[in-house]
Amino acid sequence: MTGFDFKWAVAEDEPEIRALVGSVAMPGAVTVRFAREPDYFLGAGIMGDPCDVMIARHQSDGRLAGIACRARRQAFFNGQETIIGYIGQIRVAPDFRGNWLVHRGAKPFLEGSPPGLLYTGVIASENPRARDVLVGARLPGNLHAARVCGLTTCAILLRPQRALHRPGLDVQPGRLELLEEIVSFLRLHGPSRQFFPAYRVEDFSGGSALRDLQPQDILVARRGSRIVGVMAVWDQSNYKQDIVDSYGPGLRLLRPLYDLAARLIGANPLTPPGQAIPLAFAACICIKDDDPTTMRALLSAAMQEAQARGKAFLMIGMADDDPLLAVARRPLHIPYHSELYAVSQSKDAIRSLDGRIPYIEIATL
């Protein structure tokens, strides 16, 4: 299959893109398909603005062979606000694997990209094939790549519980009139993390970057009158769904016992194959001085909020060397491991990364 056309997607391509994305299962203890109903482009804006989707079509019959997304975001790089790129949503249809589509499409994919722009990308640790293709010895498009860190995502099991209260620490939902104060806090303390999003008030007031995230979804921790921490509960089910394709041998054997135990403690049983997992994401995580007490109080409130909405899991992801990850690991959870890479056509852009702990908004991947 030697002939393929690469071009940027338009609205007419959307049904086929949505079908391809929803059909490719990601390996792991739980094999998941990432559906994007009812419209793929509804969720594209959370990856960045602009977010361009490149498609590859087989010349002989016009079938969609693969897609990849290229986006740009305002973020903090070494403490300074700048534009960071993102490469993700790479999918190749099963019939067209082995045709080196990623390498063949790299040149048109990168055309128009600002010289020296640093991109980030995340690859699941349980997907070594993707890692070999994307960041192996033969990189496409004269790119350079470096592993930045490991990422751990905890799917925290939700059940009825009281929110954790700490003396002198008050956690309350945000409000529209508090957005400027919240954003000021995020922009003051967020740059301590590499790649932390450079949020603006308009992102929380109807824009596409945080689609369906409302001011009241933002939990705000205060000591006295001062904000000391922020964590949002982001429900993306209106445009993104994680569909269980199958369970691995271990979970398949343990599923009856898991479901029984879950019912006894008031949690949801494992989602049947073919159905969407009811989940929400912990987002906009920013804790002054990495205080674990503040983190525990916010996480407890976020878990309670997500459970009240009927969710089975709260997803929270952090760099492996983030000190706050220890707090996220304490509740019962299913861990997922991945790796964060920095990718650029410039070696200098990658070498200039300082030693800050990275932060990636996993809900936007």
Per-residue tens of pLDDT for the chain, all 365 residues: 579 999 999 999 999 999 999 998 887 778 899 999 999 999 999 999 999 999 999 999 999 999 999 999 999 999 999 999 999 999 999 999 888 898 888 888 888 888 889 999 999 887 666 666 666 656 666 788 899 999 999 999 999 988 778 889 999 999 999 999 999 999 999 999 999 999 999 999 877 899 999 999 999 999 999 999 999 999 999 999 999 999 888 888 989 998 999 889 899 999 999 999 999 999 999 999 999 999 999 999 999 999 999 999 999 999 999 999 999 999 999 898 999 999 998 899 999 999 899 999 999 99
- The span from the CA of 230 to the CA of 298, in Å, is 7
Residue with tokens 């087989």: 58
- Number of C-beta neighbours around residue 116 at 10 A: 12
| pTM for the model | 0.93
Residue 320 burial (C-beta neighbours within 10 Å; 0-12, 13-18, 19+): middle
In this structure, the strands spanning 313-319 and 279-287 are parallel
| Peptide linkage before 173 cis (omega within 30 of 0) | no
Q: For residue 334, which phi and psi values (nearest 5 degrees)?
A: -110, 120
Task: List domains and CATH numbers for the chain.
Answer: 4-149 (3.40.630.30), 156-240+269-339 (3.40.630.30)
Tokens of residue 290, six digits: 């990495």
- Number of C-beta neighbours around residue 176 at 10 A: 12
- Alpha helices by DSSP H, listed for 3-100, are 14-23
Residue with tokens 């109080």: 297
